[in-house]
Amino acid sequence: MSMSTILQHCLTGISLGGAYALIAIGYTLVYGILRLINFAHGEIFMMAGYFMIFSLASFPWPIAIVITVVVTTLMGVIIERVAYKPLREAPRMSIMISAIGVSFLLQNLSTYLFTAIPRGYPEIPFLKRIFRVGDVSASFVTILTPVLTIVLVMVLMGLINRTKTGMAMRAVSKDFETAKLMGININRIISVTFAIGSFLAAVGSILYFTDRMSVTPFSGTLPGLKCFVAAVFGGIGNIPGAVVGGFFIGIVETLLVALGYSTFSDAFTFLLLIVMLLVRPTGLFGEKTVEKV
Amino acid sequence: MNIKKRNTIYSLVAIALFLAFLYWLDANRLKQGMMISVLQKGAILALVAVAMNLLNGFTGLFSLGQAGFMSIGAYTTAILIIPVKSLDGVYYMNGVHPAIMSLRVMMAESPPFLQSLYPFIALLLGGIIAAVAALLVGLAVLRLKSDYLAIATLGLSEIVRAIFSSPQFDQITNGSYGLNKIPNFPSMLWGLIPSLVTPFIITGVCVAFIVLLINSSYGRAFKAIREDEIAAEAMGISLYKHKEMSFVISSFFSAIAGGMLAMYMRSIEAKTFSIMLTYDILLIVVIGGIGSITGSVVSAFLVTAAKEWWLRFFDRPLTLFGMEVPLFRTGFRMVIFSILLMIVVLIYRRGLFGTNEFSWDAVRRRLGRRGKEARS
Amino acid sequence: MKKYAIAVLAILMVGSLLFAGGGAEKKDGPKEVVIGVFQPLTGENGGGGYQETLGIRYANKMYPTVVIGGETYNVRLVEADNKSDKTEAVTAAHSLISSGASVIIGSYGSGVSIAAGDIFQDNKVPAVGASCTNPQVTLGNDYYYRICFLDPFQGTVMANFAIQEGATKAAVITQLGDDYSSGLGNFFARAFRDLGGSVVSEQQFQTNATDFKSILTNIKAVNPDVIFAPSSIATAPLIIKQARELGITAKIMAGDTWENSSIIENAGVSAEGVVLSTFFDDADPATAEASKFIEGFRKYLVENKQDEIIPAVSALGYDAYLTALRGIELANSTKGPAIRDALALVDIEGVTGRIIFDENGDADKDMAFIKVVENGQFKFLKTVSVI
């Protein structure tokens, strides 16, 4: 393979990785605080895609982006209030089934509302401007994605480490009960967590779908699961870890498809998960926590 | 007569009535096509649901890998029972693997007595392969905590699906084109039991086995593990051995159900056994009540029937009193199902049956109470 | 309260058991024969399936009755959505059979047709395929007929065209698991090689994939003259746009599925120059029936909020309905086996040409129309016949 082909593949991989990283952060945040795998996160990502299609049909793109992000964030918070809050004291299996139920509901709702015919994702002109350097060409959004990801992650880390809310979040993820005793408003913190996760998923969805141009009700399932694997890979509960995991999986997936093993790209991700869980359950950057046996 | 005898007689009468009903259906096959296909699919899903309940409800191991084991059973069965003359047609893209062809030819040349047994042998073989796979996989995966186990088994199911649909295994599994021309259920006992009734017999036998297992000391060990692992271990129950047993048995029966699904659908592809199938079974188990075998069986039939009926009712435009009711469109019934699942999960957490099983005493009590009220 | 709710739920669900088993609704009045419409209305091929269904519905509007044994029967259409999915196809097929269909029309998409073929054969209900081009649909199934040309023919036609245009290197992109796409791609590659060309790259993508950049990058590296990419309507604009975005200038060609205005809409200016083969050209009607169809169907399309351009699959759907009707007429009965035997004798002039079946159940069609996208429209280029 020539140099330019490899470079082209790398660009695609990094761009995909950036989108995955943004989604993976959502998983890792929620798990850190609630010890819940939010199966519905992939579906939130997919719904953001549909919201974008509909807002772009009626509003100019800057307003459409704002609407999409706001609505998605709200949706994430509402889902938490309705489906997860009542089950906080219930056994772990119930809340996981609830998450699966929400995922199921969102998929079927989209199929019903938007029909399962793939919908064309509208173009945002400046995002799709093509740049060509030699033999390698990419649209602006391909280059923007990883950059934006890193910026957002840095902002998020600042939020976590330097603000009161961030400190509260860290406290809740360390020890739920004690944080409550210390007077932290648990409900507010949890809502903030979901809001941040959904916000990032919305941004990720805009970047992801602009390059892919079509949304179906099932566009979110596989990316959702892969991003969870990314979060586990990097160390669940650890944000920079999730980012690294997202990029890693995005790049490897692209390479596998480029080499012709596209069927195995999904299988590889899950194999990675199982290997990680067996060999190093805390992930690359995770801390040693309660044992998983 | 004593209670046990009376209950047994009730059960036998019920089974006889049901069998009579099935024979009547067989005689009226053309008109009752929908009822037959709903009942058959219900029976198949009932078996998977019970298998899943064994693992999730009775042993407390949250596993989402049922679809993967079903696909192992389905593919094994399909490869072994597609008629030899159709094999080349089915594998038209890349040709069938010579080893498979020679095996099938050898099978086709064996005496007819043996040939009528082959579908059942195929089902069993599918189950055994799945059980072996579960044994190996369980070694690695059963150590994990509940939510990690769920994701790991989900991932395994996807890995199996990817392997079955990969172009590299085209000559064995026909890659992503799937297998078709799978023959329908075989009849049993040389035609005494028509092919229509076969899936019910198979499901019945398997569920009976699981019920016996639950009521044995192994079943008590499973329940103990579900309640409190550490206490169970302290009581001398080998966690590892029993978890593996539960996992292996559950996979064995899931695979048999998968094989039956292949015979029912006549054509399968790897996409049939996606995560959505596991979610569907989870829906059935949750609605029926996690921890109740009767619940899973009843819920399987009800959910399958509801899906078919609702398919015609909710998915088509409905005019009431001359006005079109606005919401009814394709896909509406699945939305209702999802909402139903959420309601059961959030509010009616015990499902239809909770952890209770069916018993004739409960039926008598209910009827008796009403009778007594009527008399007084 | 809770017990009451559970009781209601239980009654609702038990009631469903009884209703689900119910057979076809009985109506008083004129006798009727049921034709089942087996099409994808949602899912990947929903667009094409819907267009084919429109053709069938229009034909039913134009010819709503048939004469059997001296009596006039109403023809009622029952539609079942197979959702472009082989698993759903099985359920849809079952539901059509249990609603009493005497003959089935469908489906758009060879994969689902192959999957349901066994069920139709088992239940002795003949099926007439309108646009499913894969040979496996009718091979070994004496209950399946088809009125369009086959993929080996179509692949050869496109390979011929490519060679004639001076291409020596071709790349083929096919969809894994889609019988139509993989079959047609294979036939094209074979024909192209037989004619002396070389296939420099064969790439496959998964169903529902939306990102083709990796595949297209690989193709760009070997620099083919043409890219043959028979795929569904949904993926077509993605492939076209992403190819042009990567700077690929090769000519892009495909089969009959690409004749759909939504592709031009979604791909925009990148679609210029795309070449495809198809069954029908509405600018050049061959018979009086065809002209009448073109005029009337255009109005029907507008009524149904579609563009005025007649999709080829709608014309095929129309013809399939006429074929089915003629079969019922010749059979003089509503029973499946009789209609199956009668269909073998059908000989009519449809709007897509003369329809007469060979011993395999395939129509003797030997003409394909090649169209090219020019100025945002499909323009007829030439007809190609098998020599």
Fold of A3-279: ABC transporter involved in vitamin B12 uptake, BtuC (1.10.3470)
Residue that wins the pLDDT comparison between B145 and B233: B233
Cβ neighbour number for residue A20 with a 10 Å cutoff? 31
With CB atoms and an 8 Å threshold, state whether B147 touches A108: no
Q: Assess whether pLDDT exceeds 70 at residue C7.
A: no
Q: Assess whether pLDDT exceeds 80 at residue C350.
A: yes
- Look up residue B10 and give its two tokens: 């009730």
Out of A289-293, B22-26, B77-81, the most confident range is B77-81
Q: Assess whether pLDDT exceeds 90 at residue A192.
A: yes
pLDDT in tens, C296-322: 888 888 888 777 778 888 889 999 999
- Look up residue C79 and give its two tokens: 């539609």
With CB atoms and an 8 Å threshold, state whether A115 touches C42: yes
With CB atoms and an 8 Å threshold, state whether B34 touches C183: no
pLDDT in tens, C164-212: 888 899 999 998 878 889 889 999 999 999 999 999 999 888 877 888 8
Optimal mutation site among A79, A256, A270, interface B, most CBs of chain B within 10 A = A270
- Look up residue C315 and give its two tokens: 């014309």
Confidence band of C26 (pLDDT split at 50, 70, 90): very low
Identify the residue whose tokens are 């995560």.
B275
pLDDT in tens, A23-73: 999 999 998 888 888 989 999 999 999 988 888 888 888 888 899 999 999
A5 to chain C: which residues are within 8 Å by CB?
217-218, 220-221
pLDDT in tens, C45-95: 888 888 899 999 999 998 888 888 888 888 888 888 888 888 788 888 888
pLDDT in tens, B118-171: 889 999 999 999 999 999 999 888 888 777 888 889 888 989 988 888 877 888
Confidence band of C12 (pLDDT split at 50, 70, 90): low
Tell which residue, B33, B22, B44, B115, has the closest CA to residue B260. Answer: B44
Quick one: average pLDDT of C232-256? 88
Q: Is C269 on the interface with A (CB under 8 A)?
A: no
User: Please, is C360 exposed, middle or buried when counting C-beta atoms within 10 Å of its C-beta (0-12, 13-18, 19+)?
Assistant: middle
Question: What was the pLDDT predicted at C4?
Answer: 54
Q: Torsion over CA of B139, B144, B149 and B151, rounded to 10 degrees?
A: -110
- Look up residue A123 and give its two tokens: 């173009």
Round to whole Å and give the CA distance between C349 and B149: 63
Round to whole Å and give the CA distance between C257 and C175: 13
Report the mean per-residue pLDDT for chain C: 84
Confidence band of B312 (pLDDT split at 50, 70, 90): low
What percent of chain C lies above the pLDDT cut of 70? Answer: 92
A262 to chain C: which residues are within 8 Å by CB?
176, 204-206, 209
Out of A70-79, A119-128, B104-113, B175-184, the most confident range is A70-79
Beta carbons of C287 and C309 less than 8 angstroms apart: no
Tell which residue, C262, C261, C298, C271, has the closest CA to residue C282. Answer: C298
Please give, one letter per residue, the 3-state secondary structure of chain B. CCHHHHHHHHHHHHHHHHHHHHHHHHHCCCCCHHHHHHHHHHHHHHHHHHHHHHHHHHCCCCCCCHHHHHHHHHHHHHHHHCCHHHHHHHCCCCCCCHHHHHHHHHHHCCCHHHHHHHHHHHHHHHHHHHHHHHHHHHHHHCCCCHHHHHHHHHHHHHHHHHHHHCHHHHHHHCHHHCECCCCCCCCEHHHCECCCCHHHHHHHHHHHHHHHHHCCHHHHHHHHHHHCHHHHHHCCCCHHHHHHHHHHHHHHHHHHHHHHHHHHHCCECHHHHCHHHHHHHHHHHHHHCCCCHHHHHHHHHHHHHHHHHHHHHCCCCCEECCEECCCCCCCHHHHHHHHHHHHHHHCCCCCCCCCCCCCHHHHHHHHHHHHHHHHC
Q: Which of B163, B338, B345 sits opposite A94 (nearest CB)?
A: B345
Residue C150, CA atoms < 13 Å, CB-side half-sphere: 21
The two beta strands, A119-120 and C198-205, are unpaired
pTM assigned to the model: 0.86
As a CATH number, domain C7-149+287-356 is 3.40.50.2300
Dihedral (CA of C250, C255, C260, C266) sign: negative
Beta carbons of A30 and A193 less than 8 angstroms apart: yes
Confidence band of C20 (pLDDT split at 50, 70, 90): very low
Residue type, A98: S
Beta carbons of A249 and A269 less than 8 angstroms apart: yes
Residue C291, CA atoms < 13 Å, CB-side half-sphere: 4
Q: What is the ipTM of this complex?
A: 0.84
Identify the residue whose tokens are 């409960």.
B362
Sheet holding C198-205, edge to edge: C198-205, C169-175, C226-228, C251-254, C275-278, C367-374, C377-385
With CB atoms and an 8 Å threshold, state whether A116 touches C42: yes
Cβ neighbour number for residue C189 with a 10 Å cutoff? 20
Question: What was the pLDDT predicted at C1?
Answer: 45
**B positions 53-82 inside 8 Å of A (CB):** 56, 60, 62
pLDDT in tens, B174-208: 877 888 888 888 887 766 777 788 899 999 999 99
Quick one: average pLDDT of B213-220? 90
Q: Where are the domains of chain C?
A: 7-149+287-356, 152-278+369-385
Q: Assess whether pLDDT exceeds 80 at residue B52.
A: yes
- Look up residue B59 and give its two tokens: 């042993």
With CB atoms and an 8 Å threshold, state whether C6 touches B330: no
Round to whole Å and give the CA distance between A135 and A95: 51
* Residue C40: closest C-alpha in chain A: A117
C144: which strand partners? C127
C264 to chain A: which residues are within 8 Å by CB?
none
Q: Assess whether pLDDT exceeds 90 at residue B72.
A: yes
Out of B50-54, C11-15, C369-373, the most confident range is B50-54
Chains with at least 3 CB pairs less than 8 angstroms from chain B: A, C
Q: Where are the domains of chain B?
A: 1-31, 32-375
Give the list of residues 6+ apart from residue B101 with CB closer than 8 angstroms, or none. B84, B87
Quick one: average pLDDT of A88-108? 87
Confidence band of A74 (pLDDT split at 50, 70, 90): very high
Residue C196: strand, helix, or coil = coil
Round to whole Å and give the CA distance between A270 and B151: 9
Q: Assess whether pLDDT exceeds 70 at residue C156.
A: yes
Question: What was the pLDDT predicted at C229?
Answer: 93
Give the list of residues 6+ apart from residue C237 with CB closer than 8 angstroms, or none. A120, A213, C262, C263, C265, C266, C267, C271
Architecture of the domain defined by C152-278+369-385: 3-Layer(aba) Sandwich (3.40)
Round to whole Å and give the CA distance between C196 and C163: 8
Round to whole Å and give the CA distance between B290 and B306: 20
Tell which residue, C105, C117, C108, has the closest CA to residue C42. Answer: C108
Question: What was the pLDDT predicted at C170?
Answer: 93
Tell which residue, B187, B189, B169, B188, has the closest CA to residue B179. Answer: B169
Instruction: Tell me how long chain B is.
Output: 376
The Cα of B237 is separated from the nearest Cα of chain C by a number of Å equal to: 38
The two beta strands, C347-350 and C353-356, are antiparallel
Residue type, C175: Q
B348 to chain C: which residues are within 8 Å by CB?
2, 5-6
